A and B are shown apart, each in its own frame.
Chain A
Amino acid sequence: MRVILESKVRKKPSLPIEAEAIIPRNFLKGTDLVVFEGNKERTLSELFWIFVEGTAVSPENIEVVLKGDTSRIKRVGEYMDTGTILIEGDIGMHCGNFMSGGTIEIRGSADAWLGREMRGGTIVCRGNAGHYCATGYRGEKKGMQGGTVEVFGNAGDFCAEYLAGGTVHIHGHTGDFPGVEMRGGELLIEGDATRPCGNMKNGSCVILGTVHDLLPTFEKSGTHLLPERNLEMDVYTGDVANRGKGTMMVASRALRR
C-alpha cells in the first residue's frame, strides 16, 4: 500500500508541524490521524491532500510518500519500526527519532537531529543533514544505538555525538565536533572534519578528507591501509583524556599541512 501525502498551501508556511503520527504502522487503520500545527491540533486532511493506492495487511508493506513543501514538518518517522517513508523534498527537524526499523529516504535535505537516538532501521538522505545528525538529544548520554544513517551531502556540527552503535556514513564534509563522546558504532566521513571525536570512549571513526584541529589527546598507534580505497591511514587511539578506547583513522595525506 502506498499513502501519498501532498502538503497543502498553508497560510503560515513557516509554522512547524509536529507530525510524530506519520509512521507507516499508523496508516493500517486509515488516514484519520492528527498532528499539531504550531499549538493547534489538525487532522492530516487539513494539511495534506491524501491519496491511498492499494491495500496492506501488515505495516511492513506500507510506503508513506511525502510531497510538496515538507521542510517544516518535524518528527516524521518517530518511533517507526517498520515500513517505508519516502520524502521527495526537504524534511524538518527530528526525522526518524527513536526509529527502530524500516527505511526512510529523503531526496532533499534534512534539518537538525536526523535519526536521533535511533535504535535500528535505515535512513538515507540524498542532500545535506543539519546539526546533530545521528546523535542523542540534549543531555542524553546514549545517542544512536543501532541502524544506519547515510548522508550523501554534508552534515552540520556534532554529527554522531554520543554514537553508541550502528553506522553513520557521511559522503560530504562534517562541521565541528563530529563523533564527540562516541562510545560505540562506526562513523565514516568521506570529506573534511574539524576537531573530531573529542572525549571519545569507544567505537571507530574513519575520516578520508582533511582533519582540522586534531585534538592533542589522541595517541598515534600506527598506520593502516584501506585496500578498497588504496589509502594509507594514520591510526589514533583516544580520547586519552577520557580513558578512551576508541579508534580514529585519518587519511595520512590529510595531515601533511
Chain B
Amino acid sequence: MTELWVKNACVIDPIRGINGEIMDIAIRDGRIVESVSDRADVIDAHRCLTLPGGIDSHTHVSGTKVNFGRYMSPEDMRAGRTKRRGKMHVTSGYYVPTTFGNSYRYSAMGYTTLLEGAMAPLEARHTHEEFTATPHQDMLANTLFDGNWAVMDAVREHDVRKAAAVVAWTLNAARGYAIKLTNPGGTEAWGWGDDLTSIHEQVPHFAVTPAEIITTLIQANELLRLPHSVHLHCNNLGKPGNYQTTLDTFELVPDLNPARQSLYATHVQFHAYGGGTWRNICSKAEEITRSINSKPQIVMDMGQIMFCRTMTMTADGPMEFNLHCLHHNKWSNHDVELETGSGIIPVTYSKKSAVNCIMWAIGLELALLTKSPWQCLLETDNPNGAPFVKYPEIIGLLMSKRYRDEECATLHAETEKRTSLWALERELDWHEIAVMTRAGQAKALGIASQGKGHLGIGAEADIAIYPIRTDMVDPAREYRKVVEGFQKTRYTIKRGRVVSRDGEIIVDGANATFWVNAKVPEDIRMENDKEFIRRFEQFYTVRMSNYPVQDLYLPRGRCIETEAML
C-alpha cells in the first residue's frame, strides 16, 4: 500500500465544479481517497495551482506515420538532445522527438493522458509498441475508418448495423479506442490518384459520399455506445474557402448523446478559411464559431499553429501532396491497403507569410469566440501546427490581450484586415484553461468515468501541480509567468506516484493503454460473416487470423467493454 498526501493545493477541478479552493488530496494505491494514514508521504503544494493531469485529445506521438516523420527529419535529431540521467533515457528531436522525448516533455508539462490522433488498423502493432515506449502517459488510439472498404460497403447498402459491426470488430482487432475519419472518402480517392472536393461527391468505385460515411458512422458510434464520439478531420483541410465544407459537415450532426458531443471536429483552424486562393485567404472563425455556439452536439479543438519549423503528418494523403507541390520539399506518401493512407512533409510557419499569420490568428479566434470552453479544446494537432511544447505559450496568448497585441504587432500587415483577432478583448481565466486542457478532454473522450480529468473520490490520481500562485499572478499582465509556470510542473503525479519534479523524470513509467471492446450480438459479428471473411482473404495481403493485435503488444491494456444496442 502506498499513500500520498497532497496538502495546501489550490485546486481547479471543473468536472466537480471546484474553482480555486485550497484543499488537501489523499491518495492510496493510485486512486484518490477520502483520507490516508499518518504514514503517508506528504507533498506541500504551497497553494500552487493544482489541476487534474493534462489530457491531450488529439496528438501524433506514436505509430508508423510519426516514425516515418522521424526517418525523414534527421536534422531534427540534432535538436532537443538530452543525455541519459537517472531514470531518464537519452532523448533527441524537437518536432518529432523520440518516444521518450515526447513522454518526458509531456510529463514535465503535467500531461498524463494522450490520444494518438490517427492509427491505421493494419499498422496498429507499431502504434502499440510505441505506446509502451511512451511510459508516462496513458494512451488511447483513434482508429482510422475514413477509407475502410467494409465500412463503405455497409454505408452504400444503408446498413448502419453492419457498419457498426465492422467498427466493433476492427476496434477490437486493432485495440483501438475511437472512430477517426480523416478526409473521409478523400484518402481512399487518393489511392486512385484523386481527391474529393465536396462532402457530397462520390468516392470512386464505392458510390458513397463523405457525408454518408460521416452520418452513418455517427449513428453506428452511438449504437455501439462507444465512450468517445466520431472524431473527424473534415474534408478539404487547408484549402482557402474550405469553411463552407466545415459548416456543411456540422449541419449533418444530430444530437444523439446527452453525456457528450456526437461529433468531435479536430484542428478546426485548418478548416476555417475563407477566400478562394492563397492570395485572398481570410478568417471565417466567426462563421465557424457561430455554428459551434448553437450546436452543443459538437466539440472541436483549435489546431493552433505557432511560428516555428515543424513536420506535418496526417492520414490526409492528397492534402500533403498539394502542400508538397507548394513547398517542393521532401515528402512521404503512404497507402494502407483497404483502409487509409498518409502523407508527411516538413513546414516552417513564418511571420513573414501572410497566410501563416492568418492561420495563427484563426486558431486564437476560434478559442476566443467559442462561448463554452468545453467546446473548444486546446491543442496544435502536434506536431502539425506546432510541437506540443508550445502549449504554454498558447495558454498565455489566450489569457492575455496584451500578449496577443504584442505578438500581433510583429505579424504580416495583412493579418489585421483578414481576421478579427485585433478586436477580441476576451481573456480566458484559469478555470477556462483547466477545461480546455483536461476537463473538456476527459468529457469529450468519455474517460471521466474511468477516473480521468477530475480529482473526485475514486479517480485515478493523475495530478499536475504548477509553480503558479493564481492569487498572486495577473495573467493579463504577467503572461510570461503564466507561460513559464505551465512549461514545468513542480510535481506531476501519475497514478499516485510522483513521476516528474521540476521537469526531471524520477521514476520509470508504467502507463496503460485504453481500448474498447464493443460487444455485438453473435449473429452480426464479423468473424461469423462469410462475405466479410471472403473479401478480407481476397483483398488484404494478411490473413484475417493474423490481423488482430495480440495481447502481448499491450502489456498494460485496459479494456472498456460496452454492450452495443444492435
Is residue A29 within 8 Å, beta carbon to beta carbon, of the partner chain?
Answer: no
Query: In which size bucket is the chain A interface?
Result: under 10
Is residue A48 within 8 Å, beta carbon to beta carbon, of the partner chain?
Answer: no
Interface residues of A in 158-189 (CB under 8 A from B): none
Of A139, A242, A243, which is within 8 A of B76 by CB?
A139
Of B72, B78, B328, B329, which is within 8 A of A137 by CB?
B78
In the complex the two chains form, what is the Cα distance from A243 to B329 in whole Å? 12
Interface residues of A in 112-165 (CB under 8 A from B): 136-141
User: Interface majority SS on B: helix, strand, loop or mixed?
Assistant: helix
Shortest distance from the beta carbon of B399 to any chain A beta carbon, whole Å: 36
In the complex the two chains form, what is the Cα distance from A138 to B70 in whole Å? 12
Of B74, B75, B78, B328, which is within 8 A of A242 by CB?
B328
In the complex the two chains form, what is the Cα distance from A138 to B75 in whole Å? 6
Please encode chain B, from 39 to 78, with 1 for each CB lying within 8 Å of some chain A CB and 0 for all others: 0000000000000000000000000000000001111101
Shortest distance from the beta carbon of A161 to any chain B beta carbon, whole Å: 13
Shortest distance from the beta carbon of A151 to any chain B beta carbon, whole Å: 25
In the complex the two chains form, what is the Cα distance from A135 to B184 in whole Å? 42
Interface size on B, residues (CB 8 A): 9
- Give the residues in chain A near B74, CB-CB below 8 Å: 137-139
Please encode chain B, from 334 to 373, with 1 for each CB lying within 8 Å of some chain A CB and 0 for all others: 0000000000000000000000000000000000000000
In the complex the two chains form, is A139's CB within 8 Å of B328's CB? no
- Give the residues in chain A near B329, CB-CB below 8 Å: 141
In the complex the two chains form, what is the Cα distance from A187 to B73 in whole Å? 26
In the complex the two chains form, what is the Cα distance from A236 to B153 in whole Å? 54
- Give the residues in chain A near B330, CB-CB below 8 Å: 139
Most chain B CB within a 10 A radius of its CB, from A137, A139, A242, A243:
A139
In the complex the two chains form, what is the Cα distance from A195 to B445 in whole Å? 54
Interface residues of A in 1-45 (CB under 8 A from B): none
Closest to A199 in B: B328
In the complex the two chains form, is B328's CB within 8 Å of A140's CB? no
In the complex the two chains form, what is the Cα distance from A243 to B326 in whole Å? 12
In the complex the two chains form, what is the Cα distance from A255 to B34 in whole Å? 87
In the complex the two chains form, what is the Cα distance from A140 to B73 in whole Å? 8
Shortest distance from the beta carbon of A127 to any chain B beta carbon, whole Å: 28
Most chain A CB within a 10 A radius of its CB, from B72, B74, B75, B76:
B75
Interface residues of A in 224-257 (CB under 8 A from B): 242-243
Closest to A142 in B: B75
Closest to A243 in B: B328
In the complex the two chains form, what is the Cα distance from A139 to B72 in whole Å? 7
In the complex the two chains form, what is the Cα distance from A242 to B330 in whole Å? 12
In the complex the two chains form, what is the Cα distance from A211 to B328 in whole Å? 27
Interface residues of A in 186-239 (CB under 8 A from B): none
Shortest distance from the beta carbon of B330 to any chain A beta carbon, whole Å: 8
- Give the residues in chain B near A136, CB-CB below 8 Å: 75
Shortest distance from the beta carbon of A201 to any chain B beta carbon, whole Å: 8
Shortest distance from the beta carbon of B97 to any chain A beta carbon, whole Å: 15
Shortest distance from the beta carbon of A20 to any chain B beta carbon, whole Å: 13
Shortest distance from the beta carbon of A138 to any chain B beta carbon, whole Å: 4
- Give the residues in chain A near B76, CB-CB below 8 Å: 139
Closest to B78 in A: A137
- Give the residues in chain A near B328, CB-CB below 8 Å: 242-243
In the complex the two chains form, what is the Cα distance from A137 to B72 in whole Å? 13
Shortest distance from the beta carbon of B98 to any chain A beta carbon, whole Å: 15
In the complex the two chains form, what is the Cα distance from A243 to B73 in whole Å? 23
- Give the residues in chain B near A138, CB-CB below 8 Å: 74-75
In the complex the two chains form, what is the Cα distance from A200 to B442 in whole Å? 50
In the complex the two chains form, what is the Cα distance from A139 to B68 in whole Å? 13
In the complex the two chains form, what is the Cα distance from A198 to B74 in whole Å? 21
In the complex the two chains form, what is the Cα distance from A243 to B325 in whole Å? 11
Closest to A141 in B: B329
- Give the residues in chain A near B73, CB-CB below 8 Å: 139
Shortest distance from the beta carbon of B80 to any chain A beta carbon, whole Å: 14
Closest to A201 in B: B328
Closest to A242 in B: B328
In the complex the two chains form, what is the Cα distance from A243 to B78 in whole Å? 30
- Give the residues in chain B near A243, CB-CB below 8 Å: 328
Shortest distance from the beta carbon of B75 to any chain A beta carbon, whole Å: 4
- Give the residues in chain B near A140, CB-CB below 8 Å: 75
Shortest distance from the beta carbon of B199 to any chain A beta carbon, whole Å: 34
Shortest distance from the beta carbon of B268 to any chain A beta carbon, whole Å: 30
In the complex the two chains form, what is the Cα distance from A242 to B75 in whole Å? 22
- Give the residues in chain A near B72, CB-CB below 8 Å: 139
In the complex the two chains form, what is the Cα distance from A137 to B73 in whole Å? 11
- Give the residues in chain B near A139, CB-CB below 8 Å: 72-76, 330
Shortest distance from the beta carbon of B32 to any chain A beta carbon, whole Å: 44
- Give the residues in chain A near B78, CB-CB below 8 Å: 137
In the complex the two chains form, what is the Cα distance from A197 to B329 in whole Å? 16
Shortest distance from the beta carbon of B124 to any chain A beta carbon, whole Å: 28
In the complex the two chains form, what is the Cα distance from A242 to B73 in whole Å? 20
Interface residues of A in 88-129 (CB under 8 A from B): none
In the complex the two chains form, what is the Cα distance from A242 to B329 in whole Å? 10
In the complex the two chains form, what is the Cα distance from A140 to B201 in whole Å? 40
Please encode chain B, from 66 to 102, with 1 for each CB lying within 8 Å of some chain A CB and 0 for all others: 0000001111101000000000000000000000000
In the complex the two chains form, what is the Cα distance from A141 to B76 in whole Å? 12
In the complex the two chains form, what is the Cα distance from A113 to B329 in whole Å? 22
In the complex the two chains form, what is the Cα distance from A138 to B92 in whole Å? 15
Please encode chain B, from 268 to 294, with 1 for each CB lying within 8 Å of some chain A CB and 0 for all others: 000000000000000000000000000
Closest to B76 in A: A139
17 contacts between A and B (CB under 8 A): A136-B75, A137-B74, A137-B75, A137-B78, A138-B74, A138-B75, A139-B72, A139-B73, A139-B74, A139-B75, A139-B76, A139-B330, A140-B75, A141-B75, A141-B329, A242-B328, A243-B328
B-contacting residues of A (Cβ < 8 Å)? 136-141, 242-243
Sample of 10 further A-B pairs with CB below 8 A, known A136-B75, A139-B72, A242-B328: A137-B74, A137-B75, A137-B78, A139-B73, A139-B74, A139-B330, A140-B75, A141-B75, A141-B329, A243-B328
3 residue pairs, one from A and one from B, having the closest CB atoms: A139-B75, A138-B74, A139-B74
